[in-house]
Structure 1
Amino acid sequence: MRFLAIMKKDILILLRNTALMLFLIYIFTLDIYLAGIGIKIKPQHVSVGYVDYSNSLIVNKILTHLHKPEFQTPKRFLNEEALKKAIENKKIMVGLVFDGDFAKNYYKTGKSQVNVLIDSTAAAQAQVTVIYLNEILARFVNLHFPLSIQTHRLFNQNSNSTWFMSLAELMSDVVLLVLLLVATVFVKEKEEGTWDIMLLMPVSSILTIFAKMFSQVVVILVGVWVSVGLILFGVFDMPINGNLWHFFLLNLLFAFSLGGIGLVIAAISNTVTEVGQYSFMLMMPLIFLSGAWTPISSMAPWLQKLSIISPVRYYIEASESIFFRGASFYDLIPYFVALLIIGMVLFYIGYKKIGRLF
């Protein structure tokens, strides 16, 4: 009963904090929605210019394949100098130059050269745009291969970046909120001068710590439930190939696993401002080592080894496996075990650190 009483008190305090509640509502709704519709992996509305020295029909045919939503209507320039100037002034992003022999070489040998000028200020988008252009131009090259290549896209067959980005943003938000809320619930006691009153409660220190921590985990789980139901399923119509309850169990284990770091932050922070600073400072390395943005296999060997001790890695991999790969409970056991082991170690470290204040 005392455990529940402490939980109830902290949840009520959070509900009465208008600023924090507005922040949580934004994080679990609008932030994920904006990430889903605003962050695109494939090109979107790329501005294109071209110079056609050949004045041929085949060039016009190629340009018709540069259409919306990936590309804007191509703009013609009289010469290459004007095209380069437009790129420098950021009026267009991509420039195509078709030389005078383009059509003749195409019809004679089936091979022609197109000079591509591209603004690589946004390096990632530029690289993806070049890949798209290569695919479009390759359709017009008369090459006869002895084999036919068929590509089968697994797990996310339509390569829907909205599904991936919205789920990735949700997982990033959970990482931040676990660190932030778990630490804040303790630091608020320091700020408001009620820490000594908390020490006088007829409850053991470990029960107090666990109850206050669990109250914030409950809030996060409710937020995840709202976000998945309202944004992922409701707005983006995102499918789930695995079991939704496995995903909630994963979030529960992960929140407790990462909560140990939140306890350490609470022990070394005296104000909520410091909590925010430490949380954001720790969040980015955890995300970068998780494989959310860069596959683990593509990292440097020493970073791959370092990621083994990060609970975020197992959280990200298991979440994507549940939604996209349809992982069963048996498939998820290694992730659950890893989170439990890391969680016990981190909770012990966090408890020993904050336990000194009791």
Structure 2
Amino acid sequence: MRRSNVLNLGIKELRSLYRDVALLLLIAWAFTLGVYTAASSMPESLHHASLAVVDEDRSPLSMRIINAFQPPFFLPPQLIDLNQMDRGMDAGDYTFTLNIPPNFQRDLLAGRQPTAQLNVDATQVSQAFTGAGYIQSIAASEIAEFLQRHRGGSNQAVELEMRVAFNPNLTRSWFGSVMEVINQITMLSIILTGAALIREREHGTVEHLLVMPVTPLEIMLGKVWSMGLVVLGATALSLVVVVQGWLQVPIEGSLWLFLFGAALHLFATTSMGIFFGTVARSMPQLGLLIILVLMPLQILSGGTTPRESMPEVVQYIMLVAPTTHFVSLAQAILYRGAGLAIVWPQLLAILGIGALFFFGALARFRKTLAQMA
């Protein structure tokens, strides 16, 4: 293997990519607007839910409960009459309606157990279940504090103090933006290398390579380093400009350590792209093949849901996927500020899996070139 051949073949791939406007636009969109929209379009578990209250008690306690529902979880509660409650729910004007009955405060202070009615529009599935729990918790907290002030009571023997680490405000955009960058690294590295090989076949330049003094290893390395470099550069710009600058998401750990791990991950995913390029015969076939593989990689790697919540069989199977270890590495570095002493097992796993994928793709690539020759 000659380094000059690998360098020149990689430069050739960069020139071909430069002339492919569609792929350049895809890269630009994926690491800018794609990351921004994925972060900003992820709503909180409860965000600006509409709430109407029928206050038949009109007591200090009922006003206290009403005033407890504040943005950003709820819109300012609307006070309505009892005859407007069903009509507003039927029209979809309110996701929740709370009916506080007459003499609610008096019965509560008298030791009775009055009942307030909460109506939930279950067609708003994303907010119905979570919002009902929020309303019950807020109302119960206000009632308990109200009773303690009027009746008096002993303090609890144990007080639980919650401290939220790494994301104190539980802002979902922090999670969504970084995970979208990770997903784009996997997706674009596979697409670019696979498309580069398909482009060679469609333009007939593979035959030219076969008569040149280059080996399949040199051809494959040229595609790997060039496409990997493009994705790595776009990743660095996206993290600095879009994630840290535009979205104001803090990066806790070393950006250089993450980029090193991303380079190892790209070694595996670009090899996967070349393997898919040898299997597919056209760009549409490549796209369908990537969809079948990419979706499980992204969903089951731990980026969407924790791996611990998956069946054990799936957890063991996904250990052979480089995305599983890369997601764990990225979350440890970017979220928790982990160093090399913590993430070295993931780095070794990615390197080993990448080597297996590379040599498997190389064997397939050699067989494909031999058939074409």
TM-score (normalised: structure 1): 0.92
Paired position in structure 1 for 2:128: 126
1:140-219 counterparts in 2 under 5 A? Answer: 140-142=142-144, 145-219=156-230
Residues 108/216 of structure 1: CA separation in 2 closer, same or farther (3 Å cut) = farther
Cα distance in 1 between the residues matched to 2:89 and 2:183 = 35
TM-score (normalised: structure 2): 0.89
1:48 to 26, 47, 51: 51
1:1-358 counterparts in 2 under 5 A? Answer: 1-79=4-82, 82-109=84-111, 113-142=115-144, 145-358=156-369
Q: CA deviation at 1:69?
A: 2.5
Letter in 2 for 1:232: V
Q: CA deviation at 1:84?
A: 4.4
Task: Structure 1: state its 5+ residue gaps.
Answer: none
Residues 243/57 of structure 1: CA separation in 2 closer, same or farther (3 Å cut) = same
Cα distance in 2 between the residues matched to 1:265 and 1:206 = 17
Is contact 1:111–1:141 with CA below 8 Å preserved after alignment?
A: no
Letter in 2 for 1:90: G
Query: Aligned with 2:320: secondary structure?
Result: coil
- Give the aligned CA root-mean-square deviation in angstroms: 2.1
Task: Structure 2: state its 5+ residue gaps.
Answer: 149-154
Cα distance in 2 between the residues matched to 1:110 and 1:231 = 56
Task: Give aligned-pair identity as a percent.
Answer: 24
Query: Aligned with 1:117: secondary structure?
Result: strand
Is contact 1:289–1:310 with CA below 8 Å preserved after alignment?
A: no
CA deviation vs aligned residue, 1:224-274 (integer Å, no higher than 9, x gap): 011011011111222222211110011101111222321221111112222
Query: Aligned with 1:67: secondary structure?
Result: coil
Letter in 2 for 1:165: G
Query: Aligned with 1:308: secondary structure?
Result: helix
Cα distance in 1 between the residues matched to 2:248 and 2:73 = 22
CA deviation vs aligned residue, 1:106-143 (integer Å, no higher than 9, x gap): 33349654433333445444343334324422321327
Cα distance in 1 between the residues matched to 2:353 and 2:64 = 58
Is contact 1:28–1:224 with CA below 8 Å preserved after alignment?
A: yes
Is contact 2:216–2:365 with CA below 8 Å preserved after alignment?
A: no
Residues 283/90 of structure 1: CA separation in 2 closer, same or farther (3 Å cut) = farther
